């Protein structure tokens, strides 16, 4: 009887807490995001042609190769498009990557604007040839149009226009553009070393990563400035199973492929990666809550009550939700025997991990090793780097970005964003505490799908706002 009273009491407390959450939600007005990009036909056309010329020069990077001569050719395109930048700024070229230094009236709050020159390969059948740079129906088509030559074009154009107006920045401005971002190469690290050599400690670094995203989550309608404040780490692990091989007509019980399959089955069904909601994810959900339907406002607006439930359920809802809360593990490559009737002496499986702060590189790799040992598998690390320190959303640098977004894109909500992909900005973390990932262009579902996929394009209405964002950021950094 006592146990029953306890259970009833707990249920009563739970119902009371839920009632409190419902009342709190009903008392808070729902918000809407009504910002829409403005059309400026003349500027759109001019910027689209500039971006098209950049897209037309193929800059596919290859892992382990610098390809300096190729990128020097692209630099010639930049010099033709932005002559004042090249006449007035100090240019530093390192193995195809670039730094430009625009000396300001002071250098105690230097600003770094970033984007990468290189693009991923363009395979498959495209509606428009991938390096055509076609401008059609209000879109610039081609590989790199959205990822990430649009950002490079926008900040070069911003500086070009400011120079034309005779503007002198209050603070030093650096333009940083790597030629090896897509392959995780040495381009950006060498640029950072150059700044270290010069004693430069940036006040703010603005790279790609987040953007103005249309409908960032089911139920969240409108456009939102998703500002990347936390970047997960990344690692590639090789899992190997060995045996003496043999003929396939008398297979053993635990051949290499069988052991790898058992390992992968357990990893999928009983993942050792823990789900937790870190501060950045919490800030993101709370910032988005007022813009959602009632159920999202109830859940995200009352994390003091529903956080344990969300941590438990979200990984089952979608891969994107799972990636926000835990280290993800993706099998990407596999090898076995060269013959259909031959048992392999060695079979391998490659895993790609994206490390979350509460279970970072060392802890996640160790969890994989423990599970692999159970199936007599070897683990070797191909490459790996840990998560980046998050940006303080209360810092002056972050607030500057928010103010500039509010000025250039009035009424556009700013949402701190947990990034699941990787950027070159991580290399700047060693010299800057405010590495913000935000590209000021509009990405809808089609743009997201086209990046690294087929038929990449960017809507031309994104371009004037992107140029104005960089111009305003340079001007307001005082």
Count Cα neighbours of 159 within 13 Å in the Cβ-side half-sphere: 31
In this prediction, residues 148-158 reach a mean pLDDT of 97
Q: Which conformational region is residue 246 in: left (phi greater than 0), alpha (psi within -120 to 50 degrees), or beta?
A: left
Is a pLDDT exceeding 80 seen at residue 285? Answer: yes
Q: What is the pLDDT of residue 5?
A: 62
State CA 474 to chain mean position distance. 23
Per-residue pLDDT tens over the stretch 381-410: 999 999 999 999 999 999 999 999 999 999
Q: What is the pLDDT of residue 10?
A: 66
- Residue 4: pLDDT band (50, 70, 90) is low
Q: What is the pLDDT of residue 22?
A: 86
Alpha-carbon distance 99 to 175, whole Å?
5
Q: What is the pLDDT of residue 452?
A: 81
Q: What is the pLDDT of residue 220?
A: 92
Closest residue by Cα to residue 143 from 154, 152, 134: 134
0.75 surpassed by pTM: yes
In this prediction, residues 215-235 reach a mean pLDDT of 94
Average pLDDT, whole number, for the chain? 94
Per-residue pLDDT tens over the stretch 400-437: 999 999 999 999 999 999 998 889 999 999 999 999 99
Q: What is the pLDDT of residue 9?
A: 66
Is a pLDDT exceeding 90 seen at residue 113? Answer: yes
DSSP label of 181: G
Alpha-carbon distance 271 to 367, whole Å?
9
> Tokens representing 313?
């359920």
Per-residue pLDDT tens over the stretch 373-382: 999 999 999 9
Stronger pLDDT, 446 or 152, i.e. the higher one: 152
Three-state secondary-structure class, residue 82? coil
Alpha-carbon distance 144 to 149, whole Å?
5
User: What b-and-e string marks burial along 356-382, b requiring 16 or more CB atoms within 10 Å of the CB?
Assistant: bbbbebeebbebbeebbeebebebeee
In what order do the strands lie in the sheet containing 328-335? Answer: 328-335, 346-355, 233-242, 378-385
Q: What is the pLDDT of residue 444?
A: 82
> Tokens representing 215?
């409908």
Q: What is the pLDDT of residue 318?
A: 79
Residues in Cβ contact with 52 at an 8 Å cutoff, skipping those fewer than 6 apart: 133, 134, 135, 140, 142
Alpha-carbon distance 254 to 347, whole Å?
12
- Residue 88's CB: how many other CB atoms inside 10 A? 13
Stronger pLDDT, 337 or 133, i.e. the higher one: 133
Is a pLDDT exceeding 90 seen at residue 242? Answer: yes
Dihedral, 475, 476, 477, 478 alpha carbons, nearest 10 = 100
Is a pLDDT exceeding 90 seen at residue 293? Answer: yes
Angle at 99 between CA 101 and CA 211, to 5 degrees: 100
Stronger pLDDT, 392 or 338, i.e. the higher one: 392
Cβ-contact 146, 447 below 8 angstroms: yes
Q: What is the pLDDT of residue 314?
A: 86
> Tokens representing 111?
């600003």
Is a pLDDT exceeding 70 seen at residue 327? Answer: yes
Q: What kind and span of H or E run contains 142?
A: none
Is a pLDDT exceeding 80 seen at residue 1? Answer: no
Closest residue by Cα to residue 351 from 264, 445, 438, 474: 264
In this prediction, residues 72-82 reach a mean pLDDT of 98
- Determine if the peptide bond prior to 148 is cis (ω within 30°): yes
Strands 106-116 and 171-178 come out as parallel
Alpha-carbon distance 478 to 475, whole Å?
7
Alpha-carbon distance 379 to 138, whole Å?
49
In this prediction, residues 186-202 reach a mean pLDDT of 98
- Domains, the chain, ranges and CATH? 41-231+389-476 (3.40.630.10), 233-385 (3.30.70.360)
Residues in the chain: 478
Cβ-contact 179, 149 below 8 angstroms: no
In this prediction, residues 313-339 reach a mean pLDDT of 89
- Residue 17: pLDDT band (50, 70, 90) is confident
- Residue 449's CB: how many other CB atoms inside 10 A? 13
Render 190-238 in DSSP notation, one character per residue.
HHHHHHHHTT---SEEEEEEEEEEES-BTTB-SEEEEEEEEE-EEEEEE
Q: What is the pLDDT of residue 170?
A: 98
In this prediction, residues 23-49 reach a mean pLDDT of 94
Chain position carrying tokens 């070229």: 93
- Residue 243: pLDDT band (50, 70, 90) is confident
């Amino acid at each position: 009887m006592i146990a029953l009273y306890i259970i009833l009491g707990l249920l009563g407390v739970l119902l009371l807490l839920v009632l409190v959450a419902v009342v709190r939600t009903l008392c808070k007005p729902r918000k809407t995001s009504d910002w829409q990009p403005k059309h400026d036909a003349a500027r759109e056309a001019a910027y689209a042609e500039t971006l098209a010329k950049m897209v037309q020069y193929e800059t596919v990077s290859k892992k382990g190769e610098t390809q300096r001569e190729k990128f020097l050719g692209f630099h010639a395109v930049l010099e033709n498009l932005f002559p004042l930048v090249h006449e007035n700024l100090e240019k530093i070229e390192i193995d195809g990557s670039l730094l430009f230094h625009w000396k300001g009236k002071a250098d105690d709050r230097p600003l770094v604007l970033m984007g990468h020159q290189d693009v991923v390969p363009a395979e498959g059948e495209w509606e428009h040839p991938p390096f055509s740079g076609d401008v059609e129906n209000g879109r610039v088509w081609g590989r790199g149009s959205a990822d990430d030559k649009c950002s490079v074009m926008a900040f070069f154009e911003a500086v070009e226009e400011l120079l034309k107006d005779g503007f002198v920045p209050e603070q030093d401005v650096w333009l940083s553009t790597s030629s090896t971002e897509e392959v995780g190469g040495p381009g950006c690290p060498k640029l950072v070393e150059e700044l270290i050599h010069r004693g430069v400690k940036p006040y703010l670094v603005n790279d790609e990563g987040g953007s103005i995203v249309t409908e960032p989550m089911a139920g969240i309608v409108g456009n939102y400035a998703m500002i990347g404040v936390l970047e997960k780490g990344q690692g590639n692990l090789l899992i190997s199973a060995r045996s003496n091989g043999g003929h396939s007509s008398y297979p053993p019980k635990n051949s290499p492929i069988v052991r790898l399959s058992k390992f992968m089955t357990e990893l999928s069904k009983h993942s050792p990666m823990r789900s937790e909601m870190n501060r950045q994810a919490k800030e993101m959900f709370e910032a988005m809550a007022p813009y959602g339907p009632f159920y999202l406002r109830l859940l995200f607006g009352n994390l003091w009550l529903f956080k344990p439930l969300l941590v438990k359920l979200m990984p089952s809802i979608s891969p994107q939700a799972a990636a926000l809360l835990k280290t993800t593990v993706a099998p990407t490559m596999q090898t076995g025997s060269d013959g259909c009737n031959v048992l392999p002496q060695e079979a391998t499986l490659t895993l790609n991990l994206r490390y979350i702060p509460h279970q970072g590189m060392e802890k996640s790799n160790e969890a994989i090793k423990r599970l692999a040992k159970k199936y007599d598998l070897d683990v070797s690390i191909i490459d790996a780097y840990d998560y980046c320190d998050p940006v303080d959303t209360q810092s002056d640098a972050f607030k500057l970005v928010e103010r500039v977004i509010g000025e250039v894109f009035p009424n556009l909500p700013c949402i701190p964003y947990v990034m699941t992909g990787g950027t070159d900005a991580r290399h700047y973390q060693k010299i800057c505490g405010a590495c913000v990932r935000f590209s000021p262009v509009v990405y809808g579902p089609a743009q997201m799908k086209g990046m690294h996929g087929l038929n990449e394009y960017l809507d031309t209405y994104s371009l004037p706002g992107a140029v104005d964002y960089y111009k305003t950021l340079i001007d307001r950094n005082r």
